[in-house]
Amino acid sequence: MILYTFLEQRDLSGKTIIPFCTHGGSGFSRTIETIRKKQPGARVQETGFAVCRQNMDTAPAGAAA
């Protein structure tokens, strides 16, 4: 939730937001939709970078960089 607070307190209009996360099976859930609501002037990439905990050992090094 700290990231939602950050998004509420900043204006990222004109910027591109690329979501990323690790998860236990839920993926992004509704996070991308929530980011769009909190930052209507920003472009939010539809497909971010998500790694499921079962795949952490096989995730490519530096893939999020």
Q: pLDDT tens-digit profile of 2-32?
A: 888 999 999 999 999 988 877 776 777 888 8
Which stretch of DSSP H or E encloses residue 36? helix 31-38
pLDDT at residue 21, as a whole number: 79
Phi, psi of 8, rounded to the nearest 5 degrees = -75, -25
* Confidence label for 48 from pLDDT (cuts 50, 70 and 90): confident
Contacts of 8 (CB under 8 A, 6+ apart): 38
pLDDT-derived band at 59 (thresholds 50, 70, 90) equals: low
Predicted TM-score (pTM) of this structure? 0.69
Backbone angles phi, psi at 9, to 5 degrees: -95, -5
Is the pLDDT confidence value at 57 over 70? no
pLDDT at position 65 over 50: no
Long-range contacts of residues 30-36, Cβ cutoff 8 Å, at least 24 apart: 34/4, 35/7
